[in-house]
Structure 1
């Protein structure tokens, strides 16, 4: 839920709950921004968790002699002492008109009595839950691009998440950097070039390009991956995974629930499966097995073995039954 609408003054009381610090900071910033839009001279008092001095809350929320507007942000109300919590409760029974109060709480049972008391006064509530599922982080990344009127493909967002990790601030920073350094829609090829040192991105990007029949791009990314230190065995592993997944999804038909794959991945592999036949998949798997043996010591030039494998896979994609 959003605390304020576009161009609207902020509500007098906002409660921001949840442990996701980045989302909490953004929710607070939205309220502050709305207050400044309504009155550029508004005073902002942002109190860090544990920094509120005993008895000082009443002073913070006291009306000004000249009626100036003020935003008071009180973070981490779960850590308030009993006397401080009572101050907040008393204020809520008779709030000042020119004061906008924002309270943050990470969730959980600590400070629940105060949290329940705040909710009784019907605040605008912004929930900031922890984004723990991969799909939630992908949605977050795509939302970052929509905020800037740009687009990133779901596959590219997955690649960024694989490269950066699950920390939301790091994901947001990665999105900001990609937005600043690129133009148009960000796809997997862009992400692979940008995060060239990440084996998971480079290896699987090579595999995706190969099974899609994009031989030139696959060869280019292969050389890039090898030059940046990606192990050859990671690339053959990714190729084997890519070919096998096409076979699994193709044979499953509409019954994909038992594959253990998220819907976005099933959709991606279905697109990749176009042009593949059972005979073609067999040829591709044999090529991967040959390349895997080569990079593990059966050939003098692993790079050549991998290039030959990519050529065979790209050719097998259109092989007749």
Structure 2
């Protein structure tokens, strides 16, 4: 029996309502918080609450689940009270909403209650609720949308961290920022928490020693620390970093991937004399990535770079099953990259 095709998340229709950044949220009768990145969504919803609370401390806040919904709830919690306090209603699980909620929400956005702000959280994980999203984006309810797309690429995580410190009017050294992002490359929630801890704890500017003091264990086992040390030609340090990473439970596959990513970036930048800004725009990169790659290329030639890329490709195949000894494959790759010589010389 042929399985039914899997239903994908709804394609986002062209929106007729204002698009607001999650770092600068503002209230409206209907606030649609869309997208999978939960950290950003939580910040946006909290920001709406803080905005309203600053305008009127008597704000009433109510949480509603769209997937466990009782008929009449939405109208009940948005209706004016005896004293006319402003109301904030936070609705979660819209991507799993019940038929009853969908019907009542569609009716509500045609006639929103005065003094009420309804925040609808839809992760985009399903097509459920698409009719409601389309209606809001078409302009019903006088709403706004706060998009929270997934943050997956290194450059996106770097931009996220930059935004954290910029929003707090806090300075962090580029090397320290790089170390911090590398240390929490797999978990945006932890990266956000680390940024906020440094912002709260450190009175002055943040340098690399500060990041090392707080998160040294995480930084030392980072795949990018291994890659950076090897590419810089520090053979002994690179092997120590590799063994520390493996002893800490690091997976060989991401370790090779980190090295490969840096070498690919170096190869794309090598030989180009354009300005960092122009080259970054043409290659679809950030200025800092171009600048970093150019620093990494010091002392490298086309021959040694090609040899390193070949060694990394071989190690990639071996750690994915082509060899029984993944550790040896990693050590050989690191040796070739750090010494810039064929293995065994």
TM-score between both structures, scaled by the size of structure 1:
0.66
The answer as to 2:290 corresponding to 1:266 is yes
Residue ranges of structure 2 left out of the alignment (5+ in a row): 1-18, 309-327, 329-334, 341-345
How far apart in 2 are the matches of 1:90 and 1:273? 61
The answer as to 2:135 corresponding to 1:117 is yes
Q: Please report how far the alpha carbon of residue 122 of structure 1 lies from its aligned counterpart in structure 2 after TM superposition.
A: 3.3
Instruction: Within 5 Å, give how 1:33-44 maps onto structure 2.
Output: 33-44=50-61
- Secondary structure, in 3 states, of the residue corresponding to 1:72? strand
Q: Please report how far the alpha carbon of residue 269 of structure 1 lies from its aligned counterpart in structure 2 after TM superposition.
A: 2.8
Runs of 4+ with >6 A deviation: 3-6, 221-224, 238-248
How far apart in 1 are the matches of 2:54 and 2:230? 50
Aligned pairs, how many?
280
Determine if contact 2:62/2:89 at 8 Å carries over to the other structure.
Answer: yes
CA 1:109–1:166: 2 relative to 1, 3 Å? same
Q: Please report how far the alpha carbon of residue 28 of structure 1 lies from its aligned counterpart in structure 2 after TM superposition.
A: 0.9
CA 1:27–1:249: 2 relative to 1, 3 Å? closer
Which residue number in structure 2 is paired with residue 165 of structure 1?
A: 185
Determine if contact 1:202/1:230 at 8 Å carries over to the other structure.
Answer: no
CA 1:247–1:133: 2 relative to 1, 3 Å? closer
Q: Please report how far the alpha carbon of residue 202 of structure 1 lies from its aligned counterpart in structure 2 after TM superposition.
A: 3.7
CA 1:137–1:174: 2 relative to 1, 3 Å? same
- Please point out which of 205, 223, 227 is paired with 1:200: 223
- Please point out which of 58, 64, 74 is paired with 1:57: 74
Determine if contact 2:33/2:119 at 8 Å carries over to the other structure.
Answer: yes
Which residue number in structure 1 is paired with residue 11 of structure 2?
A: none
Residue ranges of structure 1 left out of the alignment (5+ in a row): 286-295, 297-305, 314-321
Which residue number in structure 1 is paired with residue 97 of structure 2?
A: 80
Q: Please report how far the alpha carbon of residue 128 of structure 1 lies from its aligned counterpart in structure 2 after TM superposition.
A: 0.8
Which residue number in structure 2 is paired with residue 141 of structure 1?
A: 161
Which residue number in structure 2 is paired with residue 184 of structure 1?
A: 205
Determine if contact 2:29/2:142 at 8 Å carries over to the other structure.
Answer: no
Q: Please report how far the alpha carbon of residue 164 of structure 1 lies from its aligned counterpart in structure 2 after TM superposition.
A: 2.0
- Please point out which of 138, 147, 165 is paired with 1:127: 147
How far apart in 1 are the matches of 2:264 and 2:23? 48
- Higher mean alpha-carbon deviation, 125-134 vs 168-177, is at 168-177
Q: Please report how far the alpha carbon of residue 33 of structure 1 lies from its aligned counterpart in structure 2 after TM superposition.
A: 0.7
